[in-house]
């Protein structure tokens, strides 16, 4: 799916606060190096994140988004510990069933491949 279409899909289908939180959490996992998704999926998640980051989340707020912005702007190496902490907190805040349902929806829509 082209990036523009992917972003439009995300804004339409991932606008719920829990979806925004799940997308943010997966983005943190990618930045922390703990994401087990394949290369294609690791390219898709940042597009979904960019499309939804300004939408209100239910559990994760501006602090997580500011950290992600800094990491993506080139400060990733200096933020390793902080990214780790935020990732662990995010994964703790969101239930495993909720995260699995989120990823399952993305796979069912053809957004993600068949990995984790």
Range of the domain at 81: 3-108
Instruction: Please report the pLDDT score of residue 115 as a whole number.
Output: 52
CA dihedral sign, ordered 91, 36, 27, 16: negative
- Please state the domain count of the chain: 1
Q: Which two tokens stand for residue 83?
A: 């990214």
Query: What pTM was estimated for this model as a whole?
Result: 0.91
* Tens of pLDDT, residues 37-48: 999 999 999 999
Instruction: Please report the pLDDT score of residue 7 as a whole number.
Output: 93
* In the block, residue with structure tokens 């990491």: 71
Compute φ and ψ for 33, nearest 5 degrees: 75, 15
Question: CA end-to-end span of the chain, whole Å?
Answer: 20
| 116 lies in some domain | no
Indicate if the pLDDT at residue 79 is higher than 70.
Answer: yes
Indicate if the pLDDT at residue 27 is higher than 60.
Answer: yes
Share of residues in the chain with pLDDT > 90 (%): 85
């Amino acid at each position: 799916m082209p990036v523009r279409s992917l972003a439009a899909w995300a804004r339409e289908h991932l606008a719920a606060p829990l979806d925004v939180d799940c997308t943010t959490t997966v983005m943190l996992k990618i930045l922390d190096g703990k994401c087990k998704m394949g290369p294609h999926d690791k390219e898709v998640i940042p597009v979904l994140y960019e499309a939804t980051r300004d939408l209100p989340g239910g559990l994760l707020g501006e602090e997580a988004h500011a950290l992600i912005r800094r990491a993506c702007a080139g400060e990733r190496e200096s933020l390793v510990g902080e990214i780790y902490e935020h990732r662990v907190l995010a994964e703790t805040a969101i239930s495993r069933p909720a995260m699995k349902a989120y990823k399952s929806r993305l796979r069912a829509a053809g957004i993600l491949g068949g990995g984790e």
